[in-house]
Every structure is written in structure tokens, then in C-alpha cells.
Amino acid sequence: MTPKKNILIYIIAILALATITAMQVNLVYKFERNNETAFNEKARLILARTTESLTKDTLLMRKDIVMDSTNLKTTIDSLINYYMNYYGFQSDYSFEVLEKETENSALESSSMYVSNSNNHIPCYEHSLSNNFKNNSLYLKIYFPSKKNIVFKDLILPIVCTVLLTLVILLVFIKTINALNKEKKIAEHTKDFLDNMVHEFKTPLSSISLASKLILKNAKIQSEPPVLENLKIILEENEKLKSQVDETLSITSFENGLYKVFKEEVDLHLIVENCIKLLKLQIESKQITINYNFNVNQFVIMADKLHLTNCIKNLLDNAIKYSDSGREIMIELGNEAKFIFITIKDNGVGIDKVYHQKVFDKYFRVPTGNIQNVKGFGIGLTYVKKIIDLHDGKILLESELNVGTTIKIYLPYE
């Protein structure tokens, strides 16, 4: 995974964490608003019921009596307590009766002194008017512990929000650490394999050179058994060299260090060359190759070396996974601005479960029928990367015990 992708993942994860935190804070805020609304509704209801009960007593609420009454305070206090208990409302409070014209205190509770300096204390007021024209009194109730009551029920949601955020943050950190560790292990493994494969190139080149020199020896030419064995050595050496080159190419593609070099190539000649390269395998398994070249224009812009490797890989797979005496069909055709190559065999086939995985690096179909077939599991991965670099596409159709058809589309330009 590239550094840019890592940064993008970190940014997305941080944004997701911030979003979850914001949602939790918003929920707590809404819960607080709901608590405050419920508090206000109960407080106003208690005040309304208290004033309703007071205004029914016309004698008690006469203005001249109120100003000198010592019983009114006790009556209001008892009514407030009654309705608070009735509605299940618990809070400290104080009250006063004021004149509307002057806003002078006509009566104050003894539990708390209330003055103009206490305007910051949450209060609720209601008129004490009972249809007497001269009665301009109203009742004011103060709840100094309103904030404590409202926030008391928020303790659990806040604690849960903090804990949830911390858990998510901890999981996020653990996940990032685990990913970094896995990334380092994967990088070390990849570097080891790349270095190991790269080290194969020198001995393979030496074997190839030595075999070719021996092959040119006149004495060897006169000994058919030795000559045949040398050809086998050269052929197997080329196979291994091809596997090494494919592995190194895949690494280069993944690191973005390799680009295809397009030139004019004749697809018909490439197919014929691949068949020649695989002649020994074809003859040893008595495979019949059938052609259907229904195309007028064979020349396309492509990387000759890698395209040859691709077609050779696909043909090699068709041969390896087919029983002796079977047929392989190779077809060339046109569709719109594309030329297509179809390689069809009637071999062991691939179960549909594995169709999406066959192009994954190092993946091999876990079927007992093909355990004797050798390979690294990188052939189709290499083919797909090459076709993608040519702006083409590759399609797979396969059925277990019926056969496999692979179709490659390549643009002419």
C-alpha cells in the first residue's frame, strides 16, 4: 500500500471518529434540551396550579390583605410543596409575590432571600389576578438548583459517550498498529522474495549460456541422447527464467516502476511463436491445436515481449490443465475497435467459487485434480496486469470438469 493511500485511510478514519464523537455530543445536547424542557413544563405546571388554587380564595388574595398577610406565605409554600410532590418534582426553591406596577416585593419566602441581584437564578412567574381590577400581583418562583437537576440525568450518557469514544479511539490505534506491523511483515517478505528471485537470474543465465556452448560442440551433435537432454535443459531453463521475469515484472508493476513499450506487432505471428515455444508440451500430451483467425487486421500497438508472455502463459495453462489427447481452440476476431484472442480448452475447469480469485497473486485453485500441476500462482496475475496496462480487458468463463475459456480484448491503438 502506497504512502498516499495510507494517509487517505488515516484521514478517513479520523473523520469517521470525529463524526461519531460529534454525533454522541449532539445526542447528549438533545438529551439535555429534553431534560430542560421537561423541567420547564413541570415548573410552569406547578406554578399554574399553585396560582389557580390561590386565586380561588378571593379573601386571601385581596391586595390590602396580601400586603400584611402572614398566612399567605405558609399557604403558597404548602401549595408548592403539594404540587411538587404530586408531579414528582424535587428541587430547592424560593418565591416572592410582586406588584406588577412597581415590581416591589410584597412577600418573600423565608427560605431564601430574593433580590434583584438574583436575576440569574432560573425563575418562573404567573399572575395572581382573580378579576379584581386593583389586583396587580404575580407570583415568582426561583429554582437555584435547576442546572444540577437537568445535568444530573446527563451523567450516565456523558460517561457512556466518553467511554465509547475512548474505546473507538483505542480500537482505531490498535488497528493502525496492527496494520503497520502487517505492512512491515509483508514488505520484508516481499523484499526477501524479490531478492531471492533476482538472485536466480545470474545462475539461470549461466546455465543457459553453458548449455548453448555445449550444444554447439560438434561431438555433442553426433550424440542424439545427449543432444536431446541439452534441449530439455535449455527448455526448462527458459521456463524458469520466464517465471523469474514475470515475478520481477509484477513487482515492478506494483511499485509503479514499469511501463509497457508499445510498438507495432503482428498478433498472428505472436500466437504462432507461442505455439512453437510450447511444441514439446503439446506433443508430449498429444494436444490438438485448432485455429480460427477471422480477422483482417492482425497488427496492433502492444509490448511484444509481455504480450508474447501473456499468450504463452494462457496456452501453457490450457495444456497443463487438459488431459492427453484433448483439443485447444485459438480464435482471433474483431469487436468494434478491439481485436480479441480466445483460448478455449476442455480440461478440468474451475469452480465458479474461484472465478474472482484466479487473478489474485499466488492464488491456486485448491482442487485435488490439479495438485500434480506445477506453478507459482502468478501467471494469471501477470497476464491481467499486462492486459490492464494495454487498456484491454480479460474475461473468464469456466465450468468444473467441462473446460475453460479465456478471452482477451486489446485495442488496435
pLDDT at 9 over 90: no
- Cell 418565591 belongs to 95
Q: What is the DSSP string of 154-221?
A: THHHHHHHHHHHHHHHHHHHHHHHHHHHHHHHHHHHHHHHHHHHHHHHHHHHHHHHHHHHHHT-HHHH
Taking the model in full, what pTM does it have?
0.51
Summary mean pLDDT of the chain? 78
Summarize the confidence of residues 381-407 as an average pLDDT. Answer: 89
pLDDT higher than 90, residue 407: yes
Q: For residue 290, how far is the Cα from the chain centroid?
A: 46
Domain spanning 263-411: which superfamily?
Histidine kinase-like ATPase, C-terminal domain (3.30.565.10)
Give the list of residues 6+ apart from residue 4 with CB closer than 8 angstroms, or none: none
* CA 243 – CA 295 distance, rounded (Å): 31
**Model pLDDT for residues 45-82, shown as the tens digit of each residue:** 988 888 888 777 655 555 544 544 567 788 888 888 88
Please report the DSSP string for 230-283 in residue order: HHHHHHHHHHHHHHHHHHHHHHHHHTT------EEEEHHHHHHHHHHHTHHHHH
pLDDT value at 92 more than 50: yes
What are the pLDDT digits (tens) for 344-391? 998 888 888 888 888 887 777 775 544 455 555 677 888 888 898 889
Q: Which long-range contacts (CB under 8 A, 24 or more apart) does 74-82 make?
A: 76/50, 76/107, 76/109, 76/139, 77/109, 79/49, 79/50, 79/53, 79/54, 80/46, 80/50, 80/141
